[in-house]
């Protein structure tokens, strides 16, 4: 019966979170599935810790691709994923989000004429220099089934001649499953939570120096906790960054701790896609160090502010935002928390 398994392809931290709720929904409908982990993320905190906390079984395939340049990493994934798909012959392949694992998974599948379903379709930052934007656009245009987290995403696909299905966001489902299980916030007192890892911020030395200067300004007045992504840690090691007193750099934390830290923080400073949304849902004000966001709903609702990579702007925005509590009303742009169920049901009806 192996050839009837639906294949899910993941590789990076946020994809394990998305997979956790979707796989539960597939299991509950007895849809046989196998998981390919490309190995894009491999540090304990970035991968195994996530699998443990999310209660995910070991993936059937771990391709162990690891880190490299974009081209080499994507090419190695493409070739290894193809081998698995040739063996498994799945009726459909499910890919998540916007990483190189997403792009490689969808390209390997369509070249074998295996239909692709994209979870988190239709998002756009309209910033083509971001690797994630290229990955999203290409994946959407390769996919036969497009699951949109917002109505705006459905409209965007329509503008591009594609038909999306509104399901809501599977990260809301994950939060619903796991936030009740999260431990008390491990940080005492008032603090600002920082996560910075996007390529456009870490790989431009001037930009990163200005972001760090903003974090340092904050740390003179407030406790700042920064669970640091390995990409950023490596850049800081090369810069010989000296740690200001109020700043704690810590290892990446597990998802359950992360939820409790976002909830406990007085403000979040980030460039992460997932963290912007989680801050919105957990009612913590957020300052996003980016020109544009693929989650504009969080900005429109007043919970998120985009800022320049500039010390005074970051400091000023946090000081402003930490006191803001715009309320959430009834407007929940990310669905009803049953996105994974709708996706599993759709796959059962249309693909098996």
Nearer to ligand UD1, 99 or 276 (CB): 99
Q: Contacts with ligand UD1 in 130-159 (CB under 6 A)?
A: 131-132
x/- mask, ligand UD1, residues 226-245, rule CB under 6 A, reads ---xxx--x-----------
Is residue 94 within 8 A of residue 9, CB to CB? The reply is yes
Instruction: Judge whether 7 and 34 are in contact, CB under 8 Å.
Output: yes
Q: What DSSP string runs through 274-336?
A: HHHHHHHHTT--EEE-SS--S-HHHHHTTSEEE--S-HHHHHHHHHHHTT-----TT--TT-S
* Residue span 192-211 as binding mask against ligand UD1, x where in contact by CB under 6 A, dash where not: -----x--------------
Angle between helices 170-178 and 273-281 (to 10 degrees): 60
Specify whether the CB–CB gap between 132 and 148 falls below 8 A.
Answer: no
* Residue 43: contacted member of ligand UDP, ligand UD1, none (CB under 5 to 8 Å, by partner type): ligand UD1
In sequence order, the 6+-apart residues with CB closer than 8 A to the CB of 319 are none
How far lies 71's CA from each of 68, 78, 96, 188, 348, in Å? 8, 10, 19, 43, 34
Best CA proximity match to 119, nearest among 60, 63, 174: 174
Question: Which helix or strand (DSSP H or E) is residue 19 part of?
Answer: helix 13-28
β-sheet with 61-62: strand ranges across:
61-62, 33-37, 6-10, 93-96, 116-119, 145-148, 165-166
For residues 219 and 276, which CB has a smaller minimum distance to ligand UD1 in the complex? 276
Residue 67: which of ligand UDP, ligand UD1, none does it interact with, CB under 5 to 8 A by kind? ligand UD1
Taking residues 247 to 286 in sequence order and writing x for each that binds ligand UDP by CB under 6 A, - otherwise, the string is -----xxxx--x-------------xxxx--x--------
Segment contacting ligand UD1 by CB under 6 A, of 29-37, 41-49, 111-119, 188-196: 41-49
Min CB(36)–ligand UD1 separation in Å: 15
Q: Which is nearer to ligand UDP, 253 or 344 (CB)?
A: 253
Rounded to the nearest whole angstrom, what is the least distance from the CB of residue 226 to ligand UD1 in the complex?
15
The distance of closest approach from Cβ of residue 44 to ligand UD1 in the complex, given in angstroms and rounded to an integer, is: 8
The sign one gets for the Cα dihedral 165, 167, 171, 172 is: positive
Of residues 160, 162, 153, the one with CA closest to residue 124: 153
Percent composition of the chain: helix, strand, coil (DSSP 3-state, to 5): 45, 15, 40
131 contact, one of ligand UDP, ligand UD1, none, CB 5-8 Å limit per kind:
ligand UD1
Question: Nearer to ligand UDP by C-beta: 122 or 273?
Answer: 273
Site for ligand UDP in 207-236 (CB under 6 A): 227
Q: Which does 276 bind (CB under 5 to 8 A by kind): ligand UDP, ligand UD1, none?
A: none
In this structure, the number of other CB atoms found within 10 A of the CB of residue 252 comes to 22
Instruction: Tell me if residue 17 falls in helix, strand or coil.
Output: helix
Catalytic option among 145, 197, 229, 341: 197
- Active-site residue flag, 257: no
Which residues between 96 and 115 bind ligand UD1 (CB under 6 A)?
98-100
Q: Which of ligand UDP, ligand UD1, none has residue 195 at its interface (CB below 5 to 8 Å by kind)? A: ligand UDP
Site residues for ligand UD1, 51-70, by CB under 6 A, read 67
Closest CA to 279 of 179, 133, 149, 186: 179
Q: How far is the CB of 42 from ligand UD1 (least distance, A)?
A: 4
Cβ closest to ligand UDP, residue 17 vs residue 31: 17
Among ligand UD1, ligand UDP, none, the one that 83 touches (CB under a kind-dependent 5 to 8 A) is none
Q: 147 forms bridges with which residues in the sheet? A: 119, 165
255: partner contacted, choices ligand UD1, ligand UDP, none (Cβ within 5-8 A by kind): ligand UDP
Active site residues: 197
**Given the rule CB under 6 A, which residues bind ligand UDP?**
13-14, 17, 195, 227, 252-255, 258, 272-275, 278
């Amino acid at each position: 019966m192996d050839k009837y398994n639906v294949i899910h392809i993941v590789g990076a931290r946020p994809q394990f979170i998305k997979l956790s709720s979707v796989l539960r929904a597939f299991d509950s409908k007895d849809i046989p599935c196998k998981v390919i982990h490309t190995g894009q993320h491999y540090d304990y905190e970035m991968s195994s810790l996530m699998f443990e906390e999310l209660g995910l079984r070991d993936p059937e395939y771990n391709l162990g691709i690891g880190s490299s340049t974009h081209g080499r990493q994507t090419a190695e994934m493409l070739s290894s994923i193809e081998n698995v798909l040739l063996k498994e012959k799945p009726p459909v392949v499910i890919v998540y989000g916007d990483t190189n694992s997403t792009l490689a998974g969808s390209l390997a599948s369509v070249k074998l004429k295996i239909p692709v379903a994209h979870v988190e379709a239709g998002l756009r930052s309209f910033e083509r220099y971001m690797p994630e934007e290229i990955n999203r656009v290409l994946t959407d245009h390769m996919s036969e089934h497009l699951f949109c987290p917002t109505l705006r995403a459905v409209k965007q696909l329509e503008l591009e001649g594609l038909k999306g299905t509104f399901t809501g966001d599977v990260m809301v489902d994950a939060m619903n499953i796991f936030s009740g299980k999260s431990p008390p916030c491990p940080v005492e007192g008032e603090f600002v939570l920082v996560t910075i890892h996007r390529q456009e911020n870490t790989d431009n030395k001037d930009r990163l120096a200005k972001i760090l200067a903003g974090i340092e300004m904050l740390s003179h007045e407030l406790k700042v906790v920064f669970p640091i992504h390995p990409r950023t840690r490596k850049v800081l090691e090369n810069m010989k960054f000296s740690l200001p007193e109020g700043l704690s750099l810590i290892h990446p934390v597990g998802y359950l701790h992360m939820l409790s830290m976002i909830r406990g923080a007085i403000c979040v400073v980030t460039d992460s896609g997932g963290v912007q949304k989680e801050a919105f849902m957990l009612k913590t004000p957020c300052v996003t160090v980016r020109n544009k966001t693929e989650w504009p709903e969080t900005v429109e609702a007043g919970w998120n502010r985009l800022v320049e990579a500039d010390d005074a702007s970051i400091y000023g925005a946090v000081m402003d935002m930490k006191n803001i509590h715009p309320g959430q009303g009834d407007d929940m742009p990310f669905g009803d928390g049953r996105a994974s169920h709708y996706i599993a049901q759709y796959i059962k009806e249309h693909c098996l």
